[in-house]
Structure 1
Amino acid sequence: MYTLMVADDHPLFRDALCAVIDAGLPGCQLLQADSVAVALQLAEGRDDLDLLLLDLGLPDAEGLSGLLHLREAYPQLPVAIISAEQDRRIVLDAIDMGAVGYIPKSTPRDALLAALGRILEGQLYLPPDIMRRPSAPNASPPPPPGSEDRLALLTGKQLEVLERMTRGESNKQIARELGIAETTVKTHVSAILRKLGVSSRVHAILAAGELERMPR
């Protein structure tokens, strides 16, 4: 069964989250840490650790620095952020730094377990509500030169797929919503990355900019 670590400095939240995970993933082994330092110590030599859930508000970390330390020390360890912070740019920055998911602390129990299930299956999880929300003015850098020209290279269906990618939808969700095969979605995603000149879904979202700026 799975082994997870919850790194959060609030004992009540940490215990509550562990209780939800224990009920939703029976038999799961849970480790707890109240700082990045303790998380690093507990992760040492734990090849069986499947996922680390990291809060951004730990006392010995600022912003995404805790994620950076963990990624540097254990690059093969999947780390997902679980935080009250819901700024869209921070979500994308965390994924760009190697996080395998970003779960807001306000996520309902069933949705949280579904998100964990996706992550443990090897999929990336982005919070749909945050990804649909427009960024604050001047919160993100301007799109790179020529991005609008590259967006113009996308077909109508590829633009639909890209829009749903910005909502944090998985390939399976996109396939279901658009009524196409998941393999077709994968083909579209590959074409989108190639045409935008990027190497990942997150970079594609960043290159696209705000949806209202996308050519229709």
Structure 2
Amino acid sequence: MPPTHTLMVADDHPLFREAIGAVIETGLPGCRLLEADSLARALEQAQCRQDIDLLLLDLDLPDAEGLSGLAQLREALPQLAVAIVSAEQDRRIVLDAIGMGAVGYIPKSTPRTTLLNALAHMLEGQVYLPPDIMRRPPASGPASPRQAETAFATHIGSLTDKQREVLALMIRGYSNKLIARELDIAETTVKTHVSAILRKLGVTSRVQAIVAAGAQETYHG
């Protein structure tokens, strides 16, 4: 029987690859896990396969610094879903990763059950953001310019109450179908709201809307 999903973990620590493999084996039965200990090996394997549903990328690989590995993967394989799995918990890095096209960000300290839920979430095509980090204000650094805050506040102020509800669920990674179920409205109505939200926020994608909303939380953190 063929595997339900194929995942890859790119991390240079064998113990972590073994640990996440054990979690996936017991929590997501039927899934196949590929392993790579460097960005180069991850790229080599991913370019030779069409069946990888999700690549879990560490930010601290020996041949990639910070988000440069994500940038290289996005350039070489733009259709491949890549999620960051890292010990780094800086809120700005989370937002930057999502802005660069990552489908999720999982801290290495994430409990097993939460990790499995996050993986299932992303395998369903949704974006996963760690709620504890997203609720956290920036660790350091000067406040953003008031002009930027005021401009975004104006955009947010133009949303209707229902559009705000839809945006809140988008930030939590809900698909249109799940938003429709949560708010008890038609999926076509959700699509209309999403289109209006993107237009009013001056963005072109759901991810950009999530990043923009996250930045607004940063201003008020």
TM-score (norm 2): 0.83
AA at the equivalent of 2:108: K
Q: Which residue does 1:66 correspond to in 2?
A: 69
Q: Which residue does 1:20 correspond to in 2?
A: 23
1:118-197 map, 5 Å? 118-136=121-139, 138=141, 142=145, 143=148, 146-166=151-171, 168-171=172-175, 179-181=183-185, 183=187, 184-197=189-202
**In 2 relative to 1, CA 63–204 (structure 1 residues): closer, same or farther, beyond 3 Å?**
same
AA at the equivalent of 2:151: G
**In 2 relative to 1, CA 35–213 (structure 1 residues): closer, same or farther, beyond 3 Å?**
closer
Q: In the comparison of the two structures, how many residue pairs are matched?
A: 212
AA at the equivalent of 1:152: G
The answer to whether the Cα contact below 8 Å between 2:38 and 2:61 also exists between their aligned partners in 1 is yes
The CA distance in 1 between the partners of 2:106 and 2:137, in whole Å, is 18
Q: Note the alpha carbon deviations across 1:99-149, whole angstroms, 9 max, x for none.
A: 111111111111111111111111111112212222345467543773232
AA at the equivalent of 1:9: D
The answer to whether the Cα contact below 8 Å between 2:85 and 2:107 also exists between their aligned partners in 1 is yes
1:54 is aligned, of 46, 54, 57, to 57
AA at the equivalent of 1:53: L
Q: What runs of 5+ residues in structure 2 fail to find an aligned partner?
A: none
Q: Which residue does 2:119 correspond to in 1?
A: 116
RMSD, matched Cα = 2.6
The CA distance in 1 between the partners of 2:207 and 2:157, in whole Å, is 19
- 90-99 or 142-151: bigger deviation: 142-151
**In 2 relative to 1, CA 144–4 (structure 1 residues): closer, same or farther, beyond 3 Å?**
same
Q: Note the alpha carbon deviations across 1:85-107, whole angstroms, 9 max, x for none.
A: 11121111111111111111111
Is 1:210 equivalent to 2:216 in the alignment? yes
Query: How far is 1:83 from its partner?
Result: 0.8
Query: How far is 1:164 from its partner?
Result: 4.7
TM-score (norm 1): 0.85
Query: How far is 1:75 from its partner?
Result: 1.5
The CA distance in 2 between the partners of 1:120 and 1:14, in whole Å, is 19
1:45 is aligned, of 45, 48, 59, to 48
Is 1:104 equivalent to 2:107 in the alignment? yes
The CA distance in 2 between the partners of 1:125 and 1:140, in whole Å, is 26
Q: Which residue does 1:35 correspond to in 2?
A: 38
**In 2 relative to 1, CA 72–141 (structure 1 residues): closer, same or farther, beyond 3 Å?**
farther
Q: Note the alpha carbon deviations across 1:22-54, whole angstroms, 9 max, x for none.
A: 112223221111110111122221011111110
